[in-house]
Amino acid sequence: MPRKGLKPDKLTFGALINALCMELKIKEAFKLKKDMCKIYKVPSSTFIYGVMINGLCRIGELTLAFRLKDELITKKLVLNSAIYNSLISGLFKAGRRDDAFGVIEEMDSNGIKPDTTTYNIMIDEFGKAKDFESAYRVLKEMPDKGCKPNVITYNMLIGMLCKDGRLSEASDLLEDMPRQGCKPDVVAYRTLFDGLCGGSQSEKAAFILDEMIFKGYVPHSASIHRFVSGLCQGDNMKLLFRVLNSLAKGNAIDENTWLMVVSRIYQEDGPQVSIASQLLDSLLL
């Protein structure tokens, strides 16, 4: 750039330092920041401090991260919620919960309101600790604090509830999302579907599958194969046919799954074979 008569500015260095921090090349980012100030005489910015603090928190270098935050304040740059969120997340990951809550208090005292990301970090931490009572409390408090839960908020909770075997609560949460002005996405449905399948709740999984297909979503192909495989090993042929019908509507059955189903159906004796053949013929049309 200098050879072409162009002077690198904050945006130039911001893009480069951000890329280095994304790749966790923090040492190189520090060198470039130093060159930026000393060689190119370009002052740093809140954005540059933010991406560097985030990178340091990701690798657990919290002392350096807080040192940069103090340097930012000394240079009279503006702190923002993104910088605080990086510090809070890093402290939680390091198991320093009390310090994380201390930063949240500092954030509030400095007139920076916690945002949805702040609350999502807290919910994620409580969920990992299986403290669902506290996670629900935070979820309930968010609207009162002027923060609306987003689809990430709900997806995290649904995933953690499914992982803990609390499938009924996860189902209730997904059902409550539209009432809270948050539309469930494909991740929410896939997470719950996989949870129900893993919990051997085939009827409920089939119900969620119907809803997914209706909304234009489909499970992962591996999830479909596992679910259908489980049904093929059971004796509830009615449920198997219902699931096949739903999957056919969503064009979500691969060749291997079809072959597995055909093999299972033709193990049956009596009228089941005729019914199954008619069903398969109708689905293939």
* 176-214 confidence digits (pLDDT tens): 999 988 999 999 999 999 999 998 899 999 999 999 999
Contacts of 113 (CB under 8 A, 6+ apart): 81, 107, 145, 146, 147
Which of helix, strand or coil describes residue 145? coil
Q: What is 1-114's CATH superfamily? A: Tetratricopeptide repeat domain (1.25.40.10)
104 — alpha (psi -120 to 50), left (phi > 0) or beta? alpha
CA neighbor of 157 nearest in space, from 222, 59, 180, 146:
180
Average pLDDT over residues 231-256: 84
First to last CA, the chain: 62
Residue spans per domain, the chain: 1-114, 185-285
Task: State the Cα–Cα distance between residues 223 and 197, nearest whole angstrom.
Answer: 8
Which of helix, strand or coil describes residue 76? coil
Average pLDDT over residues 65-78: 94
Q: What is the mean pLDDT of the chain?
A: 89
Asked whether the beta carbons of 189 and 174 are under 8 A apart, the reply is yes
- Per cent of the chain over pLDDT 90 is 71
Cα radius of gyration (the chain): 26
